[in-house]
């Protein structure tokens, strides 16, 4: 397993194209299906604000890593040490903000990639590949700014890069092809406009449909050029999606009209979740129309629920209907309970996306509670940890580490 398990992909779109009868029955099944989850608390210690999935013992079964330990699947009951364990005070902060499982060294064994505290190092731990000895730590870059760095393939070369900001520049970093154990090569893509280390909101996605990943952030989107040779500055399109900034951002066609919209939390430490419909004035000029999923106050509930501190988001097809859904929740005690709604229950939700027949601007979101005592961290991961082809939800935060397994409906 060379990367995070991919979100489940069903054959529903093909079936729709082949058979109108099958299309109707498939849609009815998807609409009426009930998705349920069972929670496993892997640890009650605060080691990290995220968790990773990878096959760390190369037995063909997904494992979970959170902070200094990895836990062998499918039970996730035995902790195996990656680095010296340090449990943090839940009213303070960890040094491990996000993490990913990926074979950085290229030896066939998944390593452990860690985005550290904002403004500090990010690093990766080399899997000992079944040999005696510990996991060797290698620095990726010395400074990782933004509270939602990403580890994804922004260049289209088939391998993920670390995407973040540093010294006010947005950038991506990729391993040195001569030696991945050396500090990674940094490629700036913007002018010096990225903000400081605690800036919120970052993501990638193909905004303009040219097949290349663009950069998304709270006040702009940056168009990837045709060639990355020479590290050109990407073209900047200014739009204030959110003032304070949210968390992970995504480009996805929520209304099914053929172009990608943008999803973002409106405030990582406040209220608000929205998608921005991509519009066109007829002359080819793009615009963005905001549609609220959760409003900017606790009483503003367009779809019946409201909670604060959506400090992490994932986007995945939870119910297998061919349309991606939103997974998010409340980050527990982001600032020790001092944020708006800071002491409310640490909920975890998925929002079922329902398209309005491909008409521009028409999409609704059905909120479904997964749990009310785990929440999210600065990362929430939808990944298949059971091997049944259905996405489960993995969380690491100040309440510990959790695996929410998707189970068959009764």
The pLDDT assigned to 359 comes to 87
Residue 311 CA to residue 323 CA, distance in Å, equals: 23
Q: CB neighbours of 125 closer than 8 A, spacing ≥ 6?
A: 82, 83, 111, 112, 114, 135, 136, 137, 138
Cis status, amide bond into 74, omega within 30 of 0: yes
Express each pLDDT in 295-327 by its tens digit.
999 999 999 999 999 999 999 999 999 999 999
The segments of the chain whose pLDDT lies below 70 read 1-33, 410
Above pLDDT 90, what percent of the chain? 87
Using an 8 Å Cβ cutoff, are 262 and 291 in contact?
Answer: no
The pLDDT assigned to 284 comes to 72
Residue with tokens 């663009």: 214
From the list 221, 227, 273, the residue with the least C-alpha distance to 246 is: 273
From the list 184, 241, 253, the residue with the least C-alpha distance to 215 is: 241
The burial class, CB within 10 Å (0-12 / 13-18 / 19+), for 14 is exposed
Map the chain to HEC letters. CCCCCCCCCCCHHHHHHHCHHHHHHHHHHHHHCCCEEEEEEEECCCCCCCCEEECCCCCCCCEEEECCEEECCCCCCCEEECCCCCCCCCCCCCCEEEEEEECCCCCCCCEEEEEECCCEEEEEEECCCCCCCCCEEEEEEEEEEEEEEEEECCCCCCCCEEEEEECCEEEEEECCCCCCCCCCEEEECCCCCCCCCCCCCEEEECCCCCCCCEEEECCEEEECCCCCCCCCCCEEEECCCCCCECCEEEEECCCCCCCCEEEEECECCCCCEEEEEEEECCCCCEEEEEEEEECCCCCCCCCCCCCCCCCCEEEECCCCCCCCEEEEECECCCCCCCCCCCCCCCCEEEEEEEECCCCCCCEEEEEEEEECCCCECCCEEEECCCCCCCCEEEEEECCEEEEEEEECCC
From the list 246, 232, 126, the residue with the least C-alpha distance to 170 is: 232
The pLDDT assigned to 410 comes to 65
């Amino acid at each position: 397993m060379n990367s995070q398990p991919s979100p489940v992909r069903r054959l529903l779109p093909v079936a729709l194209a082949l058979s109108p009868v099958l299309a109707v029955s498939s849609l009815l099944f998807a609409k009426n299906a009930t998705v349920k989850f069972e929670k496993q608390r892997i640890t009650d210690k605060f080691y990290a604000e995220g968790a990773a999935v990878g096959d760390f013992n190369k037995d063909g079964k997904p494992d979970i890593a959170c902070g200094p330990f990895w836990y062998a699947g499918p039970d996730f009951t035995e902790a195996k040490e990656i680095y010296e364990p340090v449990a943090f005070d839940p009213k303070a902060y960890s040094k491990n903000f996000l993490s990913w499982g990926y074979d950085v060294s290229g030896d066939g064994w998944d390593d452990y990639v860690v985005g550290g505290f904002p403004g500090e190092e990010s690093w990766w731990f080399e899997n000992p590949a079944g040999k005696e000895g510990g996991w060797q730590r290698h620095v990726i870059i010395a400074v990782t700014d933004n509270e939602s760095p990403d580890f994804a393939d922004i260049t289209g070369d088939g391998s993920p890069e670390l995407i973040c900001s540093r010294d006010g520049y947005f950038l991506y970093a990729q391993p040195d092809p001569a030696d991945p154990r050396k500090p990674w090569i940094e490629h700036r893509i913007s002018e010096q406009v990225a903000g400081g280390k605690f800036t919120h909101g970052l993501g990638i996605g193909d905004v303009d449909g040219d097949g290349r990943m663009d950069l998304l952030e709270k006040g702009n989107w940056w168009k990837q050029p045709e060639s990355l040779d020479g590290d050109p500055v990407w073209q900047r399109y200014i739009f204030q999606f959110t003032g304070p900034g949210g968390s992970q951002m995504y480009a996805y066609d929520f209304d099914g009209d053929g172009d990608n919209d943008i999803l973002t939390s409106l405030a990582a430490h406040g209220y608000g979740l929205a998608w921005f419909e991509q519009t066109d004035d007829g002359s080819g000029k793009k615009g963005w129309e905001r549609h609220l999923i959760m409003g900017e106050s606790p009483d503003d509930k367009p779809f019946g629920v409201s909670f604060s501190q959506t400090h992490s988001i994932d986007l995945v097809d939870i119910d297998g209907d061919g349309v991606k859904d939103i997974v998010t929740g409340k980050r527990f005690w982001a600032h020790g309970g001092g944020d708006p709604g800071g002491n409310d229950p640490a909920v975890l939700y998925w929002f079922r996306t329902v398209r309005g027949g491909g008409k521009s601007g028409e999409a609704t979101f059905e909120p479904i509670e997964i749990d009310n005592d785990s929440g999210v961290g600065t990362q929430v991961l939808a990944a298949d940890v059971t091997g049944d082809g259905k996405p489960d939800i993995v969380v690491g935060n100040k309440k510990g580490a959790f695996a929410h397994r998707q189970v068959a409906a009764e």
